[in-house]
Structure 1
């Protein structure tokens, strides 16, 4: 079920910070204008949004916090272009300073990715670019070497090999194993070789 939950919403985007003053009838237009503002090179006929609606707010958030907006982009690659454009901006957009655009990930996926926080934080500090793959893997290219990391320990080994960690940090929580294809042994071999 967790695997299905992570695969089903692959075209979805979650928008955080959209004011509640935007009515449900106006959300479709608001979202299309926002997406076009972030990615002006994408033609309007490619920016198709199949569905858009607000989702329930977690109880721990204050009443003043607007509910997230969930949308389904018709084309997967458009969703990826918008995410990339949003994350590559050094500063918030001048017209949408409070908006955050995120992939729609399940709670289980977010928990697993949090286990990589030590590794991803160090990579950002060192200016190493990485890209999340599907499920809990991410791809790094460093010195023309492509590495696929599927466990936090593998990321720490790679950082140590590249000279960014003086000593291998312990304490990374092991990730729960998923059924299906597992390339972690292959990637671990490349990291330690």
Structure 2
């Protein structure tokens, strides 16, 4: 290598070192510009900046963790809210079912009340028709069993003519005569009654009135009684009325039993007639007579209380169902 060439290389290296030094000074100046003016004159400025950056980084991390925890709590709350909404929906469904069941129960109770009242009216009407069919009948009590032999009609016709003081020209025509349709009693038990049906109602009335007028009628030394032929229900009610009449007579109060089971009381203030013992209960209590009415009679009295009321009054009192309500009830019954 020549001497000139060495001189050139030495001069170029010096120039490169100068450029590197200049670049470093420029970078230091840039860093110095970032540092606060106070840090330019303070040798610990950079350390303080780094400390602030570390503190900011720590605070940012804490804030991020708080945000994550808040999100977790929010998700938990949302899950609980969803569960509560699901429970509320289930409760709403249950409440709807309970409401529907209550409504159905109310309709069924109304239908039952309607059917009970209708059944009671039909039973009363049927009992009335039965008693009307028995108008030509009388019952004879006290005649011993088998006294009639094999021919009941000739026997009972002859008994009427011999035991009762009837007109000789009275023609007694019977449709039928037979013992009560119950099992034959033992010899020690009272005999069954004899049911006699007349063809002519007026003849039946004459025979019965004469028997009640004579009172003391016997057959083979046995006391014989005559009475109307009533249905079992009327017989039961009239028996209760007779017991009340017996108590009233013990208190020297005159009373009578009217058809079907009415009570007629003769008081000093006047005559009072009651359609049933239930209607007479308050008056009888004032007279010192107790009446024991069973639940059956009370219910029947309540159901038949407005039997003859108008349809408008029934609507006002709510005792009847409309055809639409009855159809709805029938549909609900068919569905279940």
- Residues 89-108 of structure 1, C-alpha deviations (whole Å, 9 max, x = no match): 55443766332222211111
Structure 2 counterpart of 1:171? 292
Q: Deviations over 1:122-165 (max 9, x none)?
A: 244336252422x222445556944322121444555566xxx3
Secondary structure of residue in 2 paired with 1:115: helix
Q: CA RMSD in A?
A: 3.5
2:196 alignment partner, SS class: strand
Which consecutive residues of structure 2, in runs of 5 or more, have no partner in the other structure? 1-125, 310-336
Instruction: Quote the Cα distance in structure 1 between the aligned partners of 2:199 and 2:186.
Output: 32
Residue of structure 1 in register with 2:150 after alignment: 24
Quote the residue 1:109 is aligned against.
234
Question: Radius of gyration: which is bigger?
Answer: 2
Superposed displacement of residue 7, structure 1: 1.6
Misfit runs of 4+, over 6 Å: none
Decide which moves more: 121-130 or 136-145.
Answer: 136-145
2:175 corresponding residue in structure 1? 50
Alignment partners' CA distance in 2, 1:70 and 1:88:
20
Unaligned stretches of 5+ residues in structure 1: 183-193
TM (normalized to structure 2)? Answer: 0.42
Residue aligning to 2:211: 86
Shift of 1:18: 2.5
Conserved 8 A contact 2:241-2:263? no
CA shift, 1:76, in A, is 2.7
1:12-61 CA distance string (max 9 Å, x none): 01122323132232x223222332345424444343322212232247x4
Aligned match of 1:62: 186
Partner of 1:122: 247
Residues 18 and 68, structure 1, Cα contact 8 Å, conserved in 2: yes
- 1:149 corresponds to which residue? 274
1:4 CA drift (Å): 1.7
Q: Between Structure 1 and Structure 2, which shows a larger proportion of helix residues? A: 2
2:258 to 129, 132, 142: 132
Aligned residues: 175
Kept after mapping to 1: 8 A contact 2:139/2:193: yes
Distance 1:181 1:78 in 2: 34
Separation in structure 2 between the aligned mates of residue 87 and residue 9 of structure 1, nearest angstrom: 19
